[in-house]
Amino acid sequence: MSGTGAPATNGPATDQRPANYKWIALSNTTLGTLMAVLDSTIMLIALPDIFRGINIDPLKPGNSFFLLWMILSFMIVTSVLVVGLGRLGDMFGRVRMYNLGFAIYTFFSLMLTITWMSGKAAAIYLVVMRVFQGVGAAFLIANSAAILTDAFPENQRGMALGINQAAGLSGSFIGLVLGGVLAVIQWRLIFLVSVPIGLFGTVWAYLKLREVERRPRSHIDWGGNLLFALALVAIMVGITYGIQPYGGSTMGWHSPFVLGCLAGGAALLVVFAVVETRVREPMFRLPLFKIRAFTAGSLSTLLAAIGRGGLMFMLIIWLQGIWLPRHGYDFARTPLWAGIYMLPLTGGFLLAGPLSGFLSDRFGSRPFASGGMVAAAISFALLELLPIDFPYWAFALLLLMNGLAMGAFASPNRAGVMNSLPPQHRGVGSGMNSTFQNAAQVLSIGIFFTLMIVGLSTSLPTAVYHGLVSHGVPAAAAGRAAHLPPVSTLFAAFLGYNPIQHLLGAPVLAHVSASSRAVLTGRGFFPSLISGPFKNGLHEAFDFAVLACLIAAGASWLRGGKYVYREEPAKPEPAAAARTGEPVAAAEQARR
């Protein structure tokens, strides 16, 4: 029947690929993953320069919307879309969808550099362009792991996915340094730098990547996609506004809007789960959760991302708001140097990711993934023992340990998840796993900021009031500054502004003696003022991270021994299952 022109059945098209194709796929998808993840953080350090460039104060009342959505819009879009785009890759070709993603990502990176507006109009434009840039990144993230799994034999997938995963994890920290270096030259460069790299990657992917399999056409679950997107957006919007002040409260978790978003999102997820069991070709392949290795790997992905996602912000604030000013760095330069001082974490990712992936090909994912999470929990516990004004060598060693631990977990866990999936569902399975990771990072930011704000709220107002009054600030002005929401102080430190200058403002400082003004706005006053309250909140955040990592280690251990999906000879009985999206073949589990 092959001569009739009918579509080919599922099967590898290895005869159309060069002998070195797997290395071409690895290098291109690693570049794509690196760029997609790098752009999720490159803006963080550059935000002060961006806001100065478009003439807007992000800390003024009403402008926190722009601050939060500049940071989170990219993450939210990728979280919402990766499952649907992975499904499209399964249907229409993973390489085709990946190539499209590279082109979209590159185009909107260019669009981000050419705004001619200023003020709120420019901020809205940048948020919208970031959303579309996130769409392109979601195409890349959703399909890169599936392309690698198709290209590499099972005994090399851990190594390949390890390199890819290490590039992604390290990209988040490389973005911090790159953003700090480029933004001081010109803020538009943080987006422009992606354009030539994106053009190169797009052309390279189009010319060199090949579809490994041909798949029969199927239908898109539009209802499921819409329900899932609305549910995730509602939940993430609720989390985003939950950490903002509401009324006279330091946070908005009791706000009707926040509660409505969270409740509505949860209800939509329940409806989504019901709908997905009743459609012929669902977007979210719930039967994949019957595969123990996939379920355990996805659950541990979720928990690990919750444990580490928001903690990066806490470590940056620790460096920028306290440690770096105490050691002679101006507040305006602390964002760049915070990224530089966190490089040991990136080094740990880069060392452990490929090595643990290589070893997991031989020994299975469980010992490395579970061991990595236990080691991460230990590193967080040890960080908690450091004094606020720590010796840097101790901090760097613990960051390196944490990076090694996270790298040891991430690559084998990803390889275990991808090895467990039937070939026809690798795209959607990869997207599901990425959704757990990306959504958990947004959730983690909400959790850690909440814990930090709770810790600060108990003692920061009193410390601020007495500290300001003792240096000549009028009691009324000191009272107003002391009762500003702690999140405003955290954001000021995070953005590299002088926090006391922000809290008091120029008119108040003008009525203080020159010597007191020099002390208040100097590099030592704010760090000494916030150290005690910050330590309380930081310990609560570390305790939560330890707990999340230990639970992730347990979830990872439940995956069982080494698990690789195997195709059995075709039989007449599974035909109905194939039409409904159920796996056509059984999976073989080999315990070692």
Q: What is the tens place of the pLDDT at every residue in 429-476?
A: 777 887 788 778 778 888 888 888 887 777 788 888 888 888 888 888
pTM of the complete model beyond 0.75: yes
Amino acid identity at 400 = L
Over range 193-197, report the average pLDDT: 89
Instruction: Pick the more confident residue, 505 or 257.
Output: 257
The residue type found at 309 is G
Residue 479: name the closest of 468, 471, 487 by CA: 468
Span 20-39, pLDDT tens digits: 888 888 889 888 888 877 87
Residues 10, 12, 14: CA angle, nearest 5 degrees = 155
Mean pLDDT calculated for residue range 271-295: 82
Question: Please, what sign has the CA dihedral across residues 560, 565, 567, 571?
Answer: positive
pLDDT at 362 over 90: no
Q: How confident is the model at residue 276 (pLDDT cuts 50, 70, 90)?
A: confident
Q: 563 forms bridges with which residues in the sheet?
A: 589
What's the average model confidence in pLDDT over 543-565?
84
User: Which residue reads 């006391």 in tokens?
Assistant: 500
Alpha-carbon distances of 142 from 168, 175, 442, 482, 582, rounded to whole Å: 13, 20, 18, 46, 21
- How confident is the model over 247-265, as a mean pLDDT? 87
Question: What residues are paired with 12 via a beta bridge?
Answer: 213
What is the structure's pLDDT at 61? Answer: 62
Residues 436 and 215: their CA atoms lie apart, in Å, by 26
> Is the CB of residue 428 less than 8 Å from the CB of residue 86?
yes
Of 178-192, 474-488, 521-535, 543-557, where does the model show the most confidence? Answer: 543-557
Residue 129 identity:
M
Tell me: pLDDT of 534 over 50: yes
C-alpha atoms less than 13 angstroms from C-alpha of 45 in its C-beta half-sphere: 34
CB 112 within 8 A of CB 191: yes
DSSP 388: S
Task: Tell me: pLDDT of 273 over 90.
Answer: no
pLDDT at 400 over 90: yes
How confident is residue 398, by pLDDT bands cut at 50, 70 and 90? very high
Check residues 267 and 340 and name the one with the higher pLDDT.
267
Which residue, among 544, 543, 537, 306, has the nearest Cα to 444 in the 3D structure?
Answer: 306
Helix (H, G, I), strand (E, B) or coil at 157: helix
Band of residue 498 on the pLDDT scale cut at 50, 70, 90: confident
Segment among 142-146, 211-215, 248-252, 543-547 with least mean pLDDT: 211-215
DSSP, res 68: H
Residue-by-residue DSSP string for 535-589:
HHHHHHHHHHHHHHHHHHHHHHHTT-S-EE--PPPP-STTHHHHHTT--SS--EE
172: nearest Cα among 241, 95, 97, 71? 71
Asked if 160 contacts 419 with a C-beta cutoff of 8 angstroms, the reply is no
Domains of the chain, residue spans:
19-221+279-456+534-568+579-589, 222-278, 457-533
Q: With 0-12 CB in 10 A as exposed, 13-18 as middle and 19+ as buried, what is 62?
A: exposed
Tell me the DSSP string of 485-515: -HHHHHHHHHHT--HHHHHH-HHHHHTS-HH
The mean pLDDT of 79-91, rounded to a whole number, is 80
DSSP string, 2-19: GGGTPPPPS-B-GGGS-T
CATH architecture of the domain formed by 19-221+279-456+534-568+579-589: Up-down Bundle (1.20)
> For residue 565, what pLDDT band results from cuts at 50, 70 and 90?
low
Residue 267 has pLDDT above 70, yes or no: yes
Q: What pLDDT does 589 receive?
A: 43
Most confident of 339-343, 482-486, 501-505, 587-591: 339-343
What pLDDT does residue 567 have? 55
* pLDDT bracket for residue 3 (50, 70, 90): very low
Q: Find the mean pLDDT for residues 392-405.
A: 94
